[in-house]
Every structure is written in C-alpha cells, then in structure tokens.
Chains A and B, each alone.
Chain A
Amino acid sequence: MNKKTHSDELLVIKVRHPALHFLTSLLMTTPLSKFKSDTTESTVDVDHRLWMQAALHGYEDKRGGVETTFGDFEEAKKTAAAIKWEAIENLGTLLESFSDKLESRGTKVCWASNGKEAVDYILQVCRDHGTQKIIKSKCMTTEEIHLNPALQAEGMEVVESDLGEFIVQLREEEPFHFVFPAMHLKRDKISAIFEEKLGTEPSSDPEELTMIARNLMRRKYCEADIGISGANFGVADTGMISITENEGNARLTTSLPKVHIAVMGIEKVIPNMEDLSVLLPLLGTAGAGQWMTAYNSMIGGPRQPGEVDGPEEFHVVLVDNHRTRLLADPEQRDALRCIRCGACLNVCPIFKNIGGHSYGTTYQGPIGSVITPHLRGLQSYKHLSYSSSLCGACTDTCPVKIDLHHHLLRNRRDAVREKGGRMERFCFRQFAQVMSHPKLYRGSEGLMRLGAKLWSPLEGKKADPLKAWTSTRTLPSPAPKSFHRQWREQRGGDS
C-alpha cells in the first residue's frame, strides 16, 4: 500500500510537470510522498504511538501543576505575547541596537541573509583558528542551515553535547521533537547505540547511560577549539543572548573553548532584559512543565577586562533565511513570536500519532506546519497544513498566543489561491451553490442516495473512483431520511 501511495503521487505530478516528474522519479521522493510513506509507517506501530502519547501526556500533566502556581497564567501569556509582538513590529530597530551593543563590547556580529551565508561565515571563523574539534550545544537554527555536515566535510569533528542531540547524532537521524530530540527512543536502543559507537557496556539504567555521555563529554569540552551554541532570546537593550537549558552543556560549551559562536534567528530579539522575567518562566513551564529551566544564562561578549575566564572571541550570527518572508505576511507574522517551547507539539493529536520524523522538517508539529511553507516553499509543504484536525489545542496552549490553527487554514487558502486545480475550484463553486440554495440542497439529497447505491458495488475495487479516500477509511452511507424530513414528519409539517 505504501508503494501505491507513492506512485499515485508521482502520477499527479507527471500530468502537471513532466520535468519535475523526471527529477522526482530519479529521487523517488518529494516532501509529500515522503510524508505519506513515513506517516503510513509510523502510524501502524501502535506500541510506539502509545508510548509516545504517554510521554507527551507527562509533560502536559506537569505543566498543569506548575500553571496553578502562577498569579494568573492567562494574563502572563498575554504579557509574553505583547512582548514578542512589540519585538516583531520593531524588529529592525531592535536588531540594530542589539548588534551595536554587542559590537561595543568586542563581539563580532554577522548578518546572514540565508543559510549559506551563515555557514560560510562560521566555516571561515573555524578555518582562521585552524579548528579541528568543535563542541556544540543544542541549536535548531544550525539544524535548519545544515551546519554540521558542512563542518564535517572540512574534516572537523563536531560533537553535540546535549544528551538527546548526542543520541540522535550517534544514530545519524534528525531530532524527533525540537525540545526533546530523543524522546522516541527507549533505553535499550540508547544503550545499543552507545555500545555500537562508543564501545561501552550495555546498561538499562538511565543514570548510567547519562554518565557515559557525561564522562565522554567532559574531555570534549576541554579539548574543543570552538564552542557553537544557539540563543533563545537576544536582549536588545543590553546586547546579550540568553540561553535556556537543563544540563549545563550550553554553559560549558560557551565558557571553556577559546572561541564561542552563537547562531540565532533574527526573530529571537526582545526589547529589554526585564522582559525575560516573564518569558523565562513561561518557556520552562509551557514546554516541559518546569518552574524554571535549570540554567538561564546571558552572554554579552567575550571575556571582559577584570573577568577571570570566558572565550577570547565571541561571534553572533544573525540568520534571516526567509524569516523576512514570513514577516512580510501581515496575517501570519505573529508566528515569528514563537519561543520554541514545544508545547504545541505536546498537545497535538497529529504529532501524537505520526511522530516528529514524519514531518520531514526542522521544526515539527503545529508551529512547523505553519512556518515551514514560508521558509521552504508553500507548494512543497502545503500538505502539512492539511495534517491537522483543526482542534485548536495548539492555539490554546501557546504561551505567546500564536493563532496556530487558523494559520493552517490561511496556508491552505493561500496554497489554493496561488495554484488551485481547475477541478477543485469548479467543485467548490458547485458546493457553494448547493449549500446556499435550500431547494437545490434538498434535491441533491436524493441524488446522493442514488449515487451511493450505484457506487456501493464498486467499493474497494480497482475501478472505485473514491479509492483515494476508501483505501484507508469507510465512507459513511447517507441517512435514509434527512433531518429536515424527519422533523417535518414528526412535527406534522410545521417546519
């Protein structure tokens, strides 16, 4: 069945774009076809789905408990939304002040329009220092710009120090969830990959497994020539990045090596340091159900006069990479407020069932489905807007009140407006006609019942025109009598 879906998809493309078909038939994959085959695969594994759902519920439950300790959680969310809103609406001014402040204390700031410019800059810094070993702490932006393969291609060793990231790096796979990268793996798989790649003894004790990584990483921090980190926020008025983490790996990454490079999306900037007094607790609470994440650190430059340690050089790489394209959308620019807490993934019925890898994107879940079409192309990623039940749980849970599920609808609309099929438009025009004319509607009821009768012998057969739908679902048969008719019969005609 897997294969069938695959070839169906290619067939559609063949009709429209012969050239694209040729390319895709070589690669045998498009984002949509990959999504279809990956979701088919991930959803049949019921055990894994249940395990994943239990884990995600755990985060939700913990969050519920912490929310009650707030004076007013809803009002706190509103303030957080207002902070990020102001930041987005004044993005240019704030970025300039952020960068000026940083530079005034000896930081080098790079403004990268796209992933390539960012990667080139970082490669150059690494070359200048004759870098051989790099230690990294978790940074989704570097995943987005594919930094690691570029560094490795130049023969540099890159080690991810966050435990979850380290595990998926050893397994040579993408993070499963952008906050909890290895949440899909049980301890036996983690033990197995450690045994295979690090030659350690097998263990079923999470503490022992964690200590394997700790001991290995201690050497790596001390030996690394360069540390690369991300940034959760960029504070404009003090010129500082802010990093939120639990393990201490980001602190070590940014403290011990002689050079520190921080990579951050331009939308991470906020106006004032005090804004963090609202954002930090919300970030910890919304995603993981913690009061505060263990380490919330601000870095405002290389080692300053009078300080005893810290890197000699500090670089901040500001990455646009199509964020300004999202900013140009007056309806959806609020998606740039995202603080990447991961809460919308934890509550999403789609994420709970298909898992993070099926998305095929750097950012999974509802927020990924909203922003990826803007970052990587609407037509290639529009299918993500349809993988939603539109239940709105994501919008409810979002600590910065992004209108997530409506944005999915807006993406659907824009995708059709930009390139809707003629047939689709025709069908919807007819549908609108029927729905807005009661007589037509009533007439069509009879037609539908007749249609259903004629169709039923074909159900599931090769010639079934509705095969795309019926291969995975049952089509409900129309009720013998409409509600309207039943009402009239039972109430004696006073409709």
Chain B
Amino acid sequence: MSGKQAILGRIREALAHPSHPEVRTLAGNGERDVEKARAFMPPGGETVEERLQNFARLSEVLKVELVLVPDLEAAKESLNAMREVEGWTRIASHHHDLSDRLVTGLQPDLLWTDDQPGIDALERCEVGISVCEALIAQTGSILVTGKGCGGRALSVLPPHHVVLATRDQLLPDLYAGYEHLRKTYGDSLPSFISFITGASRTGDIERILVLGAHGPKRLTVVLIG
C-alpha cells in the first residue's frame, strides 16, 4: 500500500466519527464566505483616489519609497536621478512594455533576466527593476509573479528593488489581487507568485527592526499616472 493510500485511509477512518457538537458550536460557527469577509478586513478604498491614499499611508509605515510621477517621461527622469544619486553601475531588469521604455538607455550595459544570465551575475547588480501584476491598497503590497515580472530572483536578490507601476494597477484588496491573477492567467498560473509588503526585514535581535535581512534593503515604487 502506498503512503498516499495509508494516509487517506487513516483520514477516512478518523473523520467517520463526526465532530463533537460542543466543539463545533464553540469553535466552528463562522461562515466561510470569503467574498463577504472583505468587509471585515482592513479597507482598501472604493475609488482610485482612496486606494492611492491608503497605499501611500502604508508605504510610509512600511518604509517603502513611493515616487509619484505624472507620465513616462517623468518616470524616466526619476530613474535617471536614482542612478546618479546611488551610483548604480550594474542594473538588472526584464523585458516588458513598461520596462523596455523606461529602463533601456539607463545604462549602456543592462542585465536582462530574460537572457538567463545566472545567479552570480544577478547577485552583483545593485538594483533590480521590475514591473508588477498589481498594487494592493489594503495592505500596501506589490503583487509579482515569476512569469510576468522577470522571474523569481530579480525582485529579491539585488539589494534595491524598484517597481514600475501604473495607477490603474491599484487594486483595493488581496481578494481583488487573486481575482486579477485568475483573470490574467486562468488555469496556468505562474509557478511563483508573491505579495511583497515592504522591504526585507527582521526583528529577530531584541525586536529591533532591521531592513535588508536577506532580500532588498530598499524598495521603491515608481507609480505613473
């Protein structure tokens, strides 16, 4: 008998005895309506303005640098300014309509993850610039996937992650984020999906917050529109 059959058999046997009514009433009396539960969670915002406000407020708490720019031209200028101030010499990104337009030309020599440059080359980059699937106003999160945002490593290996996003990508809450994923990818979801909420952090030493535990020390969102 395989391990699978053995475990499933034990589960069937165990569940043959229905749960004790007292425990059921004490502990299992909620309703599993996740859509309805959106109202119980922190609010995301009805309008785009409200969402932006929430996202901006949370970004501040989470120490995410939010750069609001009116258009692509301004976004390009702000990336150029960052490159100057931080002295980026090695920049990694990936091909996508938005990144192609903004990142190309930032540096004569760019590392594109689409070319599969390998871990060591990516590790030497000072910054990873990627697009995102969506922004979540409710939690201040950035939704990325391995398929749509340059792979698994681009947004976590370089010490600075810059996210390029447009205003219409601001979704109210996590629930809307999952809806968006289903709509975009249907049955073939990417093998990697992540909600990034702030830069990498730890409080493992005396509960003192330190940014950049293993992932990026800095997280910047350039929001266009």
A: which residues have CB within 8 A of B? 55, 58, 69-73, 75-83, 85-86, 89, 91-92, 95-96, 99, 105, 110-113, 117, 161-164, 167, 180-183, 185-187, 190, 206-207, 209-211, 213-214, 217-218, 222, 238, 240, 246-249, 251-252, 254-256, 266, 272-278, 280-281, 288, 291-304, 306-310, 314, 318, 320, 324-325, 327-328, 330-334, 337, 401-403, 406
Contacts and interface: CB of A to CB of B under 8 A. Distances in A.
Contacts of A111: 2-4, 6-7
A89 B19 contact: yes
Nearest to B2: A111
A164 B140 CA distance: 26
B140 to A, nearest CB: 7
- Residue among A80, A222, A309, A334 with max Cβ neighbours from chain B (10 Å): A309
B172 to A, nearest CB: 11
Contacts of A183: 204, 207
A301 B191 contact: yes
B10 interface: yes
A280 B15 contact: no
- Residue among B11, B20, B116 with max Cβ neighbours from chain A (10 Å): B11
A79 B210 contact: no
B interface residue count range (under 10 / 10 to 19 / 20 to 34 / 35 or more): 35 or more
Contacts of B85: none
A328 B192 CA distance: 35
Across the A-B interface, the 9 shortest Cβ-Cβ residue pairs: A248-B215, A78-B30, A82-B30, A247-B213, A328-B14, A111-B3, A255-B152, A277-B174, A248-B200
A79 B174 contact: no
Contact of A255 (B120, B156, B181): B156
Interface in B174-209: 174-175, 177-179, 181-182, 188-208
Nearest to A332: B23
B192 A298 contact: yes
A250 B178 CA distance: 22
B197 A309 contact: no
Interface stretch (B36-44, B69-77, B98-106, B162-170): B36-44
23 contacts: A75-B37, A75-B40, A80-B30, A85-B27, A95-B7, A95-B8, A113-B7, A163-B205, A163-B213, A214-B214, A246-B202, A249-B213, A272-B34, A291-B58, A294-B198, A296-B197, A297-B192, A299-B191, A308-B151, A309-B152, A324-B10, A328-B14, A403-B26
- Residue among B37, B94, B212 with max Cβ neighbours from chain A (10 Å): B37
Contact of A309 (B43, B146, B181, B200): B146
Given A183-B207, A248-B156, A303-B191, A281 B42 contact: yes
A179 B140 CA distance: 23
A336 to B, nearest CB: 10
A307 B120 CA distance: 18
A301 B42 CA distance: 31
B40 A72 contact: yes
Interface in B102-159: 113-114, 116, 119-120, 123, 139-141, 146-147, 150-153, 156-157
Given A113-B6, A248-B200, A276-B178, A83 B151 contact: no
Nearest to B34: A274
Contacts of A324: 7, 10-11, 13-14
B19 A310 contact: no
Contacts of A73: 40
B54 to A, nearest CB: 10
B201 A291 contact: no
